[in-house]
Structure 1
């Protein structure tokens, strides 16, 4: 007993900077409250309460982020929770990106869930009767658990990009992944396809998590710590065998590249994008990409910067493979969602170029460029999936390319917005996609990766073909007599699409503010 008392007296509780981590605490706290509301509220009250709670949470977390970012804080950042979480400028930028992208995703989820036959609505709840009866039945039968699951995934993503040690990063990876596995299986229209996608994502995700965890174990054996700074110190000045270091690095990176949908670790992406409910696909495509590359940037920059010449060539090759797979296989797709999935694989290759853009002096010009690219790509992707959710037939969403023929004649506005978004994904000037590629490629050239940039430009040209193919199909083909209709978007969907399109245009014309913010600080080491 005396020994326990002595040990308790020697224990010092870690300092917690609540102001620094307030955005994460707000999101995770609201997720817990949302679970309780799901269990306690009557079914007919859940939708409105859960939606309001989710939107208020995102606004409150964004307000806390802005307050801390504009306060008198250390420029180099702070570490809290015994050094497990690093709150620096990249963390704040990535948190802000995740929050605004999650806001757009929640709006899409809310709108698609209250429409008769919506993607999250139990079909048994939609019974004949008046419009009021159908609306009430729809709200009663909808799967409102989508809201707490989304908040938990978002909280995991925010923790992931700020994790300062590999164990915290692994826990955050599981917190963000497990809700996504469930969200993928919530579609009601195409239940078998959705559940198949969820199971495939879960199984492959479990393998990727195992790779990540084995990598953490090997790196702990090498450095005697899971902290990123300790691994960097051990790699810089030790006579230990490098076998554990590079074996652990390889396994760790496999887990990270899987989550980022980088080829050849992309096998889950097309099936999950196609099978998951479209709002969930938008959330995954935008926010998961930000979280995954945020984690990759921190790991490579903080823990493995001293060994860049050993691993840079490997990731150079991975980036080429990802760009080629995304560009070439995207040409063969006949489903819009699968086409965007392979587009995301190609974009992951472009993003990977930015993450490995380190100069011999240790500078990281690719960090700010990659973060800007993530923000621009996220808004464009959410708006694009918002458009996809509007083109529907009697079976639900009409995602086969043949059903998009002559869409401009049926709905010129929808076709025009989708054309603009596709041009942004292709990297056409006056869009955020062009600026994103320009800054990433410029950083790569500054870091001596000119051959890789040339390959990326060729891949961009090839990928542009399948974007233009959809545009030609919409404008220069005759619509089928029994073709799909364009449903009138609800208020939330309209806001999400408008927000994404406007940001895509604004960042293409005036990107300076965001670029300056992204480039004002470095990762805390």
Structure 2
């Protein structure tokens, strides 16, 4: 039913909550800004209740003239989006306070923009029209542009915001131009209609390929893969660490969902064409990301290049879903491959939020813990959090039994099932190269003498969540079956709808 608003209750609630928090914060003094923080977490929890109720029903529902879809994959990704955003806010609170990001009459803008960015991600995840996907993307992006520039008196942050805005606008233009070409070829903006029109009525293949090139370029920018990666290291380094985490965490889930919606649900007949593009992007990302990260001494830049390489693995999962061309394509590998890419995206986000959380834990007023040297001797200053950081680095490197190992294993299984053994070998080789810079962080923490012996003062809630974050990465690696199975079930339901 097009007038059924139940599937969109989570989005409506988030919009009302963000607007209400914006108004409430105007009347709060700086000393009472913690109220805004609590209300923001409650807003995320409220939206999670609606999404969990939809997820539990297991139904696939369309609304707003089929422009919005609520299916198991969408609701599962939304739940992890709320979780990642909530964890980010817990980690960021002290950091943002120390840097004056929560002070003044507009101090609550950090929380309000976070909620609007989250709302944009929710719309992206549930978009069933290229237009609704684009609107969600712009809502998310505009909020993040503003947040990168939030430290107005900080020249490096302002520079990063300008780079991100200019390049992001260019990528949005690419995406919109590609969408217009697909519309010109098919006469529709609805993903389900585009699929049907291409399959039954046919469309100008040349126009579709040109449109596809621009669409893939726009999505590649949002994922931060080579050769559209230029913004990632500069923006990651220049943005306040709290905003870097909001950039590099939950939005990756929305970008994955957008890629799946457009390429797999909207343009499956063109799989042979977009697979070749994704293959080139994946191999280049694995190469450039891992090789460039080796020479980095700034840990935020190191993690930026790490992100580029990690997104290469997500693309490997996406391209492994269909083998062959047209009617001869073998689609048996679709669900395992796409669920492996989804599991990898979730793994990356859970690991990344913990990593940046530890960077913010070591930072203090007037000091950014951004250099590798700042992690020297962490094992002597805080043995437990050195263990947590070690777990997170091992997970990113793909060392068993961490969660990251199972994610890489699932993607490599999907790739080898297509018969492209060479692609799996390339991925493994670059992962081995990438292990070097992750292990270098571990070496610095455990074997170097601390440059700073001051005690690490950390809020209690941050210590608890960081500890749980580290434990979860281990447990979900030792017992990956539940989450892997959940991803597979969600993908199967989405593909069947």
CA-CA distance at 1:99 after TM superposition: 1.1
Q: 2:116 corresponds to which residue?
A: 152
Distance in 2, Cα, partners of 1:493 & 1:275: 23
Q: 2:76 corresponds to which residue?
A: 93
Distance in 1, Cα, partners of 2:154 & 2:455: 23
- Distance 1:307-1:118 versus aligned 2 partners, 3 A rule: same
Residue 505 (str. 1) matches residue 474 (str. 2): yes
Q: 2:326 corresponds to which residue?
A: none
Q: 2:92 corresponds to which residue?
A: 109
Q: Secondary structure at the match of 2:249?
A: helix
* Mapping 1:28-177, distance limit 5 Å: 28-39=15-26, 41-44=27-30, 47-71=33-57, 74=59, 77-114=60-97, 117-118=98-99, 120-121=101-102, 143-177=107-141
Q: How large is the RMSD of aligned CA atoms in angstroms?
A: 1.9
- Distance 1:475-1:315 versus aligned 2 partners, 3 A rule: same
Large movers: runs of 4+ above 4 Å? none
Q: 2:280 corresponds to which residue?
A: 317
| 8 A contact 2:313–2:408 mirrored in 1 | yes
CA-CA distance at 1:274 after TM superposition: 1.1
Residue 460 (str. 1) matches residue 423 (str. 2): no
Distance in 1, Cα, partners of 2:494 & 2:44: 25
- Distance 1:28-1:485 versus aligned 2 partners, 3 A rule: farther
Q: 1:293 corresponds to which residue?
A: 256
Residue 402 (str. 1) matches residue 383 (str. 2): no
Residue 259 (str. 1) matches residue 230 (str. 2): no
| 8 A contact 1:382–1:497 mirrored in 2 | no
Distance in 2, Cα, partners of 1:23 & 1:351: 27
Q: 2:158 corresponds to which residue?
A: 195
Distance in 1, Cα, partners of 2:415 & 2:263: 15
* Mapping 1:419-438, distance limit 5 Å: 419-438=390-409
- Distance 1:238-1:67 versus aligned 2 partners, 3 A rule: closer
| 8 A contact 1:111–1:490 mirrored in 2 | yes
Distance in 1, Cα, partners of 2:203 & 2:478: 51
| 8 A contact 2:285–2:309 mirrored in 1 | yes
Name the structure where helix makes up a greater proportion of residues: 2
Bigger mean CA deviation after superposition, 49-58 or 322-331: 49-58
| 8 A contact 1:119–1:277 mirrored in 2 | no
TM-score (norm 1): 0.88
| 8 A contact 2:62–2:68 mirrored in 1 | yes
CA-CA distance at 1:239 after TM superposition: 4.7
Residue 23 (str. 1) matches residue 10 (str. 2): yes
Q: 1:237 corresponds to which residue?
A: 200
Q: Secondary structure at the match of 2:6?
A: coil
| 8 A contact 1:392–1:485 mirrored in 2 | no
- Distance 1:468-1:221 versus aligned 2 partners, 3 A rule: same
CA-CA distance at 1:495 after TM superposition: 3.3
Larger-gyration structure (1/2): 1
- Distance 1:421-1:240 versus aligned 2 partners, 3 A rule: closer
* Mapping 1:383-402, distance limit 5 Å: 383-392=354-363, 395-402=366-373
| 8 A contact 2:149–2:239 mirrored in 1 | yes
CA-CA distance at 1:146 after TM superposition: 0.4
CA-CA distance at 1:522 after TM superposition: 2.3
CA-CA distance at 1:26 after TM superposition: 1.6
CA-CA distance at 1:52 after TM superposition: 1.7
Distance in 2, Cα, partners of 1:401 & 1:204: 28
Q: 2:312 corresponds to which residue?
A: 349
Distance in 2, Cα, partners of 1:48 & 1:303: 44
Bigger mean CA deviation after superposition, 357-366 or 150-159: 357-366
| 8 A contact 2:397–2:435 mirrored in 1 | yes
Aligned length: 486
Distance in 2, Cα, partners of 1:57 & 1:524: 32
- Distance 1:119-1:515 versus aligned 2 partners, 3 A rule: farther
